[in-house]
Amino acid sequence: MRTVILCEKPQQMKSYSEAFQSAKQDKMHITITDKEIFGDKEVVMISAVGHLVELCSPDEYKDEWKNWNMDQLPMIPEKFKMKVSKDKQAMFNNAKQWLQKADEIVIATDPARAGEAIAKNIIIMSGVNHKPQKRLWVASMTKEAVRKGFQNLRDAKETHNYYLEERARAESDWVIGLNSSRLFSLLFREKGVKEIFSAGRVQSALLNLIRQREKELESFKVQPFYEIHGHFQANGTEYVGKLLQDNNIMKIPSKEDAKSCLQQLLHHSSIIKEVKNEQKSKQAPKLHNLSSLQAKLNRKHKMSPKKVLETAQSLYDKRILSYPRSEYTHIPAAEAEQLPNILEKLSSLKEYQSLIENKERDTIVDQKAYVDDAKCGDHYAIIPTNQVPKLESLSQDEKWLYDEVVRSVIATFYKPMTYNQTDLFTEVNKGIFKSTGKQIIHLGWQVVFGKEEKEEKTDEIDQSLPIVEQGQQVDTKEIKIYEGKTQPPKLYTEGQLITLMAKHNIGSEATRSGIIERIKALSYIKIVKNTVNVTNKGKMMVEAIKDTAIGSPDLTAKWEEYLKGIGEGKKDDKIFVETSKKLTKN
């Protein structure tokens, strides 16, 4: 009996093969021997190079669709056709040859929707979809994880819905993207603009959101405002308070009104109206999914989302990081049970030794903020594996990313940061001034990150407050007007685009960085000092699509939710594609 294992790329095939007892490399395949896992079966590993099969282009359906004419729109194929991608025929022929010889096929592409589609398209195109199929589904590339995965292969039917989701996504994007791109390009051509204007379900919605922020900035007018600040002294300690109105810091629009307000507060005694003491705590941040990792590393090191994904993939391929394209920020209990052993190994690195030795928890299995089987799917949060790297062998980007992931895990083994917050309310002629001070009780997890985790910006002044009692009279040193200005919205950074897309449910963890790269390549946006600027071409495109379905972030989010439902087996892929066709016709 011959088993053929289909991998996504040569590096993946090589990494998997190293987990077996014997692996003999040939030109385009590897012969595997491992009696413990496969018994006496003949086992051959083959590889794709990403997508070998793709949807046919319009002119491959009808000759008249070669020409860009309004009267040929919309282009709606009765049935979608697939073809072998250009320059990948030799790789496909090798895969097809082995798959046709197989008695059993093991799909070992990436454990994700795209990986599922890569494999199924090759299998279907090779005419072997009727053969028995199993699915390898592992969250890390360590030898232990790979061996365990091959010993516990899933039935391929369990993950087939991911293929249906990706197929529906591709067919829908073909219909909407190609038709709308031709439509808008032809409309611009009528106005004398001869460039190609690409449009699409996801890229257009994102471009629209980016342009909205630019318009907010362009129309923003700086407005002055005025606050009344009181400078007081009690028990030898000076402190500052801000005048309140309805429990909020009073913002006065005109200087004349501020002066009038100030006059009512001068030359009056000051008394402590109320003292509030409250102990507060702040837990360590959630574990990372891909989006949070992309946003953090862009903010901290200016790494582009694309570079973060490439780097995380590299560390995954090197077996030192779990699967990177995850949307989850929790890990299952079974993985949490392994973390103490992983940390023990990581303590051999001087960068983490003292942090791990001084950790405040022995386990996080009982910490629902990080460990919850119900909040994981086929993947879980990004964590280090039990394979410890030589840090000097990593690139700078790899070091930054690995350090962020390791520290995110170590931080969960520390208790919350706790502090006392004191709010003083000082009364002057019925006006109430609020002063806030914080006193750290226990740093907890913040020792892991130091001062890099910034507090949210507030109107409060960071200060040390005197110890006072309600009813105590205090000295008024000065009451004066403070002039401020309203702050304009800032242009997005690349990292903030990832957060923006996640908030609006645009794209998936695996596709978001690619969408940003796509609108860069189309010259719709340009990155200047890590800020995202819409080009003139991009502005023209937004004006064309802003009131259409493809320009709507809300509609795009609903489509993404439906697609996810297809992958979960809850929604019908055919209905989704038919709806896309109807939308395009209308």
Mean pLDDT of the chain: 96
Both structure tokens of 364: 């996080």
- Which residue do the tokens 């280090």 mark? 384
Query: Using 50, 70 and 90 to split pLDDT, how confident is the model at 450?
Result: confident
Domain ranges of the chain: 2-157, 164-219+491-585, 224-283+417-485, 290-413
> Torsions phi, psi of 319, nearest 5?
75, 15
What pLDDT, on the 0 to 100 scale, is given for residue 554?
94
Work out the average pLDDT over 389-408. 98
pLDDT 10s digits, 522-574 = 999 999 999 999 999 999 999 999 999 999 999 999 999 999 999 999 999 99
The mean pLDDT value for 471-478 works out to 98
pLDDT of residue 452: 65
Query: 355-394: per-residue pLDDT in tens?
Result: 999 999 999 999 999 999 999 998 999 999 999 999 999 9
According to CATH, what is the number of the domain 2-157? 3.40.50.140
Whether omega before 58 lies within 30 degrees of 0, making that bond cis, reads: no
Read off the pLDDT of residues 84-115 as tens digits, 9 standing for 90 and up: 999 999 999 999 999 999 999 999 999 999 99
Per-residue confidence band for 456, with pLDDT thresholds at 50, 70 and 90 = low
Q: Kindly state the percentage of the chain with pLDDT values over 70.
A: 99
DSSP β-bridge partners for residue 219: none
Tens of pLDDT, residues 307-357: 999 999 999 999 999 999 999 999 999 999 999 999 999 999 999 999 999
Q: How confident is the model at residue 460 (pLDDT cuts 50, 70, 90)?
A: confident
pLDDT at 239: 98
Taking residues 63-81, report their average pLDDT: 96
What's the pLDDT band for 579 if we cut at 50, 70, 90? very high
Q: Alpha-carbon distance 47 to 38, whole Å?
A: 19
pLDDT (0 to 100) of residue 454? 55
Using CA atoms, how far apart are residues 347 and 216, in angstroms rounded to an integer? 49
Contacts 24+ apart (CB under 8 A), 527-536: 527/304, 527/494, 530/298, 530/302, 530/493, 530/494, 531/490, 531/491, 531/492, 531/493, 532/210, 532/491, 532/492, 532/493, 532/494, 532/497, 533/214, 533/491, 534/207, 534/210, 534/211, 534/214
pLDDT tens-place string over residues 494-508: 999 999 999 999 999
* Residue 457: predicted pLDDT: 66
What kind of fold does domain 164-219+491-585 have according to CATH? Answer: Topoisomerase I; domain 2 (1.10.460)
Q: Is residue 463 predicted with pLDDT exceeding 60?
A: yes
Ordered DSSP codes for 222-243: --EEEEEEEEEEETTEEEEEEE
Confirm whether 164-219+491-585 and 290-413 share one CATH topology.
no
Evaluate if residue 224 carries a pLDDT over 80: yes
pLDDT tens by residue, 408-445: 999 999 999 999 999 999 999 999 999 999 999 999 99
Q: What pLDDT band is residue 459 in, cutting at 50, 70 and 90?
A: confident
pTM assigned to the model: 0.92
214 to 178, 449, 490, 510: CA distances (angstroms): 27, 33, 8, 27
Per the CATH hierarchy, to which homologous superfamily does domain 290-413 belong?
A: Topoisomerase I, domain 4 (1.10.290.10)
Cα separation of the two ends of the chain: 53
pLDDT tens, 288-308?
A: 999 999 999 999 999 999 999
pLDDT reading at 455 higher than 60: no
User: How high is the pLDDT of residue 282?
Assistant: 96
Distance of CA 120 to the CA centre of its chain: 26
Report the range of poorest mean pLDDT among 17-21, 121-125, 458-462, 487-491. 458-462
For 224-283+417-485, CATH gives 2.70.20.10
The pair phi, psi for residue 474, each rounded to 5°, is: -125, 160
Q: Can you tell me the mean pLDDT for 455-465?
A: 77
